Structure 1
Amino acid sequence: MTDRLMLLDSASLYFRAFYGVPSSVTAPDGSPVNAVRGFLDIIAKLVSTYEPTALVACWDDDWRPAWRVSLIPTYKAHRVAQARPGATDLEDVPDALTAQVPLIRETLSLLQIPISGAAGFEADDVIGTLATRATSPVDVITGDRDLFQLVDDERAVRIVYTARGMSNLEVVTDQTILAKYGIHAAQYADFATLRGDPSDGLPGVSGVGEKSAATLLQAHGTLEGVVAAAHAGDGMSARTSARIIEAAPYLEVAPRVVRVAHDAPVDVAPVPLRALSDADRAAAERLAEDRGLTAAMTRALDALAAAGR
């Protein structure tokens, strides 16, 4: 079997699990476990479908890093839990999901799936760093388009995109991005900078949407090329040129916010998947029985065991 590293955008997946599995799924004590069950089923499906030889759950040790906020103060600002006194740096997450995150981490530990984060960095940056270090093909599992910038056909780095649901997964390659947006993956970060993203609090350039951002990059190659052309009045309308120039303060800092880090201080190395020992499997099964997750845990254990043969 060819080595293949799978990197999970963990928060993206446990949010999907939480909203995809009914809240009526609870443990025997009545506590919510719908996100945990959904997360286990996601792991089972992904491992069975894409057959990784190593798997890492990448984590947001800092979901809204101060260094990004210092560059663009609106970055993810609308997601902050403002209603919680003195907790302006906390993400607004449903309480029923927050309560399950420690159990998701415990479950991953029992499955011997390494969890990797980095102080001051988001999971995206952990993924970018591990994908950069990888010497084998990489599958990045996410519902976040921002990570399209990591696609690299030459290095066999691809995205398994979950936004359409786990029953309709999309493998994203450079050709996929070219067909959808008219640009290459290497241009995606510049494209996202120009276009902006209200969901992340990134304003973009006024009047520049997806189509015009793609057109500018098709003509000028990179963000730097677009800015240079705007100042030269070359290859774009006077109105667009003026908008690019007016957005100079934003364009000077936004690339650092939008681009995924490739050198985060990640100290967890991927390890080969393998079947758990009888004792370790029994420990995972005991937790599952206590929390009413027996069937989902069995599916995940069996998928991991098959992958580790």
Structure 2
Amino acid sequence: MTKPHLLIVDGMALLFRSYFASAAMNQFIRLEDGTPSNGVQGFARHVLTAQNIMKPTHLAVCWDMGAHTFRNELFDGYKANRPAPPEEMLPQFDMAKDVSQMIGWQNFGVKGLEADDLIGSMIGKWKDDAQITVVSGDKDLLQLLNPTTTIAFTKKGYSEYDVYTEARFVDEYGIVPKQFAEVKAFMGDASDGYPGVKGIGPKTALQLIQNHGSIDEVLAALPTLKPGQRSKISENEEMLRLSHKLATINCGAPISVDLEALRLENYSPSTFDLLEQEGFRLIAKHARSLY
């Protein structure tokens, strides 16, 4: 019996990507009441195209639920350097969830958690029951790779992806996926606002984990490291351990639905008619061309 194929969509990643790609050209695609919808129209067209290419049997869309998460409780500086979303984007967060529901996709989000945490929790719940493909632009998700999970990173337009399997990751990085968060702990993440160990870059961070296997083993081997590395790590041990907590995806979120609840049904022409009536003409036109 063929396993179900679950497509998990990082809704936040696709919404932001679609918004900024079109906003840069001043294409806000406003609804009749003047509300901008460019990010939403791009998000939905992206998911429809991914569905057409990847042929999933089941689909889930994951969202952040506000900017404040448990990681902000751990570290005040987490994502503190990110600018607030542009004004034209603000109405599109709820609009995206509404359109997703209109099309027949299920939305998931838990207050205090990020979309990444929901994605990780779904993978943990269903990795033995389904083949899973995640669509995102967030490299942090590499830590979630396993024999039944593939991550397709957005690359160009709606149809080009950089696809990672567990085997490709191990071949390229020389570590297993779960060790990726330990690499991130050493190198930090400027976009997420945590420093890791100052003076340790991506190349050295990867080498440390390749050579020693874990943060604890690196710390145990401090006397054998180069003097510069030894001093940087020993002086920043507290931030190193905190950075590891921030980099690690929380896979313990409650996922209360059964996999079967995410099964995709064939699209009805009335669904596309409703999208058009609500002003989402580009989505309706794109959906009709595919289905």
TM-score, normalising length: structure 2: 0.89
Change (3 A) 1:146 1:166: same
Per the TM alignment, residue 118 of structure 1 is displaced from its structure 2 partner at its CA by: 1.3
**1:218 equivalenced with 2:199 (yes/no):** no
Is the CA contact (8 Å cut-off) linking 2:11 and 2:62 kept in structure 1?
A: yes
Show the counterpart of 1:43.
47
Change (3 A) 1:14 1:136: same
Per-residue deviation, residues 204-252 of structure 1 (Å, max 9, x unmatched):
111111110111111101122112111xx13x21221221111111123
Alignment match of 1:201 (pick from 183, 193, 200): 193
Q: Indicate the percent of aligned positions where both proteins have the same amino acid.
A: 28
User: Could you say what secondary structure the match of 1:74 adopts?
Assistant: coil
Is the CA contact (8 Å cut-off) linking 1:117 and 1:266 kept in structure 2?
A: no
Q: Residue type matched to 1:202 in 2?
A: Y
Per the TM alignment, residue 43 of structure 1 is displaced from its structure 2 partner at its CA by: 1.1
Which segments of 5 or more consecutive residues in structure 1 lack a partner in the other structure?
81-91
Whole-Å Cα distance in 2 between the matches of residues 297 and 13 of structure 1?
A: 18
Per the TM alignment, residue 297 of structure 1 is displaced from its structure 2 partner at its CA by: 2.2
Alignment match of 1:248 (pick from 214, 219, 237): 237
Show the counterpart of 1:282.
270
Alignment match of 1:190 (pick from 182, 195, 200): 182
Q: Residue type matched to 2:227 in 1?
A: A
Show the counterpart of 1:139.
133
**1:123 equivalenced with 2:115 (yes/no):** yes
Per the TM alignment, residue 160 of structure 1 is displaced from its structure 2 partner at its CA by: 0.6
Is the CA contact (8 Å cut-off) linking 1:125 and 1:260 kept in structure 2?
A: yes
User: Could you say what secondary structure the match of 1:106 adopts?
Assistant: helix
Alignment match of 1:64 (pick from 55, 68, 89): 68
Per the TM alignment, residue 284 of structure 1 is displaced from its structure 2 partner at its CA by: 4.7
Show the counterpart of 2:263.
272
Per the TM alignment, residue 4 of structure 1 is displaced from its structure 2 partner at its CA by: 1.0
Matches within 5 A, 1:72-87: 72-79=75-82
TM-score, normalising length: structure 1: 0.84
Q: Residue type matched to 1:148 in 2?
A: L
Is the CA contact (8 Å cut-off) linking 1:18 and 1:97 kept in structure 2?
A: yes
Matches within 5 A, 1:84-103: 92-103=84-95
Which segments of 5 or more consecutive residues in structure 2 lack a partner in the other structure?
none
Alignment match of 2:161 (pick from 149, 152, 169): 169
Per-residue deviation, residues 120-172 of structure 1 (Å, max 9, x unmatched):
211110000001101211111111111111011x2x11111015553431111
Whole-Å Cα distance in 1 between the matches of residues 47 and 139 of structure 2?
A: 20
User: Could you say what secondary structure the match of 1:79 adopts?
Assistant: coil
Is the CA contact (8 Å cut-off) linking 1:178 and 1:185 kept in structure 2?
A: yes
Whole-Å Cα distance in 2 between the matches of residues 2 and 48 of structure 1?
A: 18
Alignment length (residue pairs):
283
Show the counterpart of 1:260.
249
Show the counterpart of 1:229.
221
Show the counterpart of 1:159.
151
